[in-house]
Amino acid sequence: MTVAARRFLILGLDGGTFDLLDPLMEAGELPFLRSLVRRGVRAPLRSVYPAKTIPAWYSFATGRDPGELGIFGFTEPGDTPGRSKMVESFRPTEAIWDRLSRLGRSVGVLNFPVLSGYPVHGFILPGMFSEGSTTYPRGLRDEVEAAGGGAYPGELPTYLESHRTEWVRAATEAIDRRARVAVALAEKHRPDFLFALFRETDRIEHQLWNEMALPITEIAPDLLRFWHTVDRACESVDAAFRSAGEAVTLVISDHGHGPIESDFLTNQWLADQKYLVFRAGEELARRRLLSRFILRVRHLPFAERLARRVAEALRNGHHDTMAQFLAGDASFEQAVPRIDWDRTLAFSYPVPEGIYLNPFNPQLTPERRAEVLRDLRARLEQYPDAHIEVMGPEQIYRGRNLGHAPALLIRVDDMRTEPRMDFAYTNPLIRDRPSYFYGSGTHRMDGILIAAGAGVRPGASVSHPNLLDLAPTVLEGMGVDPPAELCGRSFARDLGLTA
């Protein structure tokens, strides 16, 4: 097969990590993925920061870092204090499939997080935010529903512990249906490039990491069935894609996953340090008192049952009397009316890993901004109870489209501690964390890369690949010159895909 004729299949396992996959592969639970590793290449794949779904997948697709895209989370700051708006798209920046399409290569994109499809030489089925969104071509929706036996799966509902069994079953069924759709479209359209994303892996790891991290013999049967379904889904899509000819298969993730050990409530810390200021009498003394009480006594049977009830109510959007009494207006959005925006210097919203200087404070002159940033950095780096890395956006991004970037980004305990924006507890650092509020897993920087197929040298060494390297690698592997301005480097030669 010539380079110009080489085809690429990319299977995305959102949040995939070798920390979970390796034990499952070694135990024989994931035979297809294990076969890819044995006849191909395996390497940890470094994400961008923040290692979140939107900036990570958009950086993968475009080969441009968040600083060049101007995208740092699901949402970006709005025009009024404490409000945000949804990130719309990585466009007009060009994705891998856009460039291939312009050059006459047929492409297919399934479940990528964009709001609507748009014209390409092939098809796009949007995912994540867009259950009823426009596909391209418009008639694709009928094909999808015929192949999947109904509407294409949307996002899983909010996790409720009382509905755990049904929720895991829904995640498993969604994987199976996404695979059936991908198989049907691959066989009918026979694209040169196909990207198919499975989102449910991330949701399972967030909510049930504590169960997945058990020894294989102790993992619940329904969770093993979920991963068996993931493995079969990858195998079936791979077989359908290869039915049109040999190809390279990449299995990748946007970031990794690991256990949450603690939480850092950034806005609570900012309030304690007087950077974020409430109006007089607006700090909800009841919430402070009761949250301290819950943290101290929640291991008692009655207190734990009560806390779980509150968590279920808040997750499900039912702010019943008991939940509201205990939690108060704990979220940042609910706290916005109580914040004194003329005196507040800094806050964390809408990117949890970010600290923003308050653009609505008239006293924040450029000189004062620089002084506040220096002081913030020093206090965070000297925080005695956790290791906090503090980074300016210009330190970690090549791009300079930083209009919506936080003034500072933090990484706490190498991401074992998760930054949070709410005011749910009085202590900024919660070491003995209540997992029933937030789940048990969170993101890590290292995701997965598995490569096998036409031209890939088994066991080839790829040195420290990162998410930004994938766009130039795929383009070069398909005989297309990568644009010089991309942020990553191609490792196609390392894989054996170029001379």
Task: Measure Cα distances from 99 to 45, 64, 247 in Å.
Answer: 23, 14, 19
Identify residue 287 by its one-letter amino acid code.
R
Best CA proximity match to 352, nearest among 233, 430, 443: 443
Q: How confident is the model at residue 44 (pLDDT cuts 50, 70, 90)?
A: very high
Q: Residue 297 pLDDT > 70, yes or no? A: no
Q: Which helix (H) or strand (E) holds 410?
A: strand 408-412
CA distance linking residue 199 with residue 194, whole number of Å: 16
Domain coordinates in residue numbering, the chain:
3-259+443-495, 262-280+335-438, 285-328
pLDDT digits (tens, 9 = 90+) for 266-295: 999 999 999 999 987 655 555 555 555 555
The structure's pTM equals: 0.93
Alpha helices in 257-320 (DSSP H): 266-272, 285-297, 301-315
Angle in degrees, 0-180, between the axes of helices 200-212 and 164-189, rounded to the nearest 10: 140
Q: Residue 435 pLDDT > 70, yes or no? A: no
How many CB atoms within 10 Å of residue 290?
17
pLDDT digits (tens, 9 = 90+) for 224-255: 999 999 999 999 999 999 999 999 999 999 99
CB 364 within 8 A of CB 346: no
Say if strands 429-430 and 417-420 run parallel, antiparallel, or are unpaired: unpaired
Is the preceding peptide bond at 301 cis, omega within 30 degrees of 0?
A: no
- For residue 276, the Cα-to-chain-centroid distance in whole angstroms is 28
pLDDT digits (tens, 9 = 90+) for 333-383: 988 999 999 999 999 999 999 999 999 999 999 999 999 999 999 999 999
Q: Which helix (H) or strand (E) holds 366?
A: helix 366-381
- For residue 244, the Cα-to-chain-centroid distance in whole angstroms is 32
The residue-averaged pLDDT of 19-32 equals 98
Task: Measure Cα distances from 188 to 53, 144, 176, 363 in Å.
Answer: 29, 12, 19, 62
* Of the options 1.10.10.10, 3.40.50.970, 3.40.720.10, 1.10.8.60, the CATH number for the domain spanning 3-259+443-495: 3.40.720.10
